[in-house]
Amino acid sequence: MPQMTAYAPATFCWADLGTSDAAGAKRFYTALFGWTAEDRPSGPETVYTILLRNGRSVAALYALEPAAHGSPPHWLSYVSVASASDAAQRARALGGTLIHEPFDVLDVGRMSVVQDPGGAVVALWEPRRHPGAGLMGEVNAICWHELATGRPDLAASFYTALFGWSTEARAMGATPYTVFTSGGVPRAGMLAIDPAWGSVPPHWLVYFAVSDCDGQVALVQSLGGTVRVPPADVPAAGRFAVVADPQGAAFAVIEPARAGRGGAG
């Protein structure tokens, strides 16, 4: 059900890109995914750009402020919650760190940004006028979120307690893989950071569904992006790659297997 008007609590609902070059990012992503961009004022001198597919929102981007603590360009995943203040308080009690205390985002929602005990960052979103993406789980839209962490045990304890998720071990090739579920529905994935990856920090990775993984990766490169993980097949999931935009923000593309990835949200 790709067209979305609401999200249950503890489900991923949105993602946005903080970038050092908003104009360049708009050119890249609109060319890559066929999106259109709609600039909306978000403050006296700031703009929040909604990215749309067929008139429905899929994600957003904004320019990082120069004083953003040296934060590199990055995608941020949002989880819908009933109360951002209550969820942030739980996250802190569970050993998380509040990067941003709960705050109102105009009249569209209330949010907090949390760093889990292993170091990965995720946003908590209490919807008001904006529930989240209008499209989810179809080609050229978000379809999955995946946590890479150095402490899978710690992360599992944190997120299951914070969101009420359960965990399931899945076979994803040779790499041990955990799927977070709620109500029997897959919500996100988790894997341990391999030392062979080098200095990769803990992070949540956003996946976009595509119809042709190899073709999309070639397009990424032609538009000035780079390849972090070349296209590879994962049994029962599909063919995926990890890439980065010209400003360095990483994301994944996946051509789902015919049987589907099993769900996202």
Q: What is the pLDDT of residues 140-179, one digit of tens each?
A: 999 999 999 999 999 999 999 999 999 999 877 678 899 9
Q: What is the DSSP letter of 142?
A: E
Instruction: Please tell me the predicted confidence (pLDDT) of residue 235.
Output: 83
d(CA 77, CA 13): 8
- Give the pLDDT of residue 154: 97
Question: CA geometry: angle at 128 spanning 124 and 134, to 5°?
Answer: 80
pLDDT in tens, 19-41: 999 999 999 999 999 999 999 98
Residue 223 has pLDDT above 80, yes or no: yes
> Could you give the CA distance from residue 116 to residue 199 in angstroms, rounded to a whole number?
18
Q: What is the pLDDT of residue 77?
A: 98
Q: What is the pLDDT of residue 259?
A: 47
**What does the pLDDT read at residue 43?**
78
Take residue 168 and report the two structure tokens written for it.
């399931």
The 10s digit of each residue's pLDDT in 67-99 is: 555 689 999 999 999 999 999 999 999 999 999
Over residues 175-184, the mean pLDDT reads 92
Q: Is the pLDDT of residue 260 over 50?
A: no
Instruction: Show the domains of the chain with their CATH numbers.
Output: 12-127 (3.10.180.10), 142-256 (3.10.180.10)
- The H or E element containing residue 201 is none
Distance (Å, whole) CA 151 – CA 191 = 9
Please, are residues 187 and 181 in contact by the beta-carbon 8 Å criterion?
A: yes
Q: 17 CB contacts (<8 Å, ≥6 apart)?
A: 25, 29, 59, 60, 61, 62, 73, 74, 75, 76, 245, 249
pLDDT score for 70: 65
Sign of the dihedral through C-alpha 49, 109, 132, 84: positive
Instruction: Quote the pLDDT of residue 263.
Output: 39
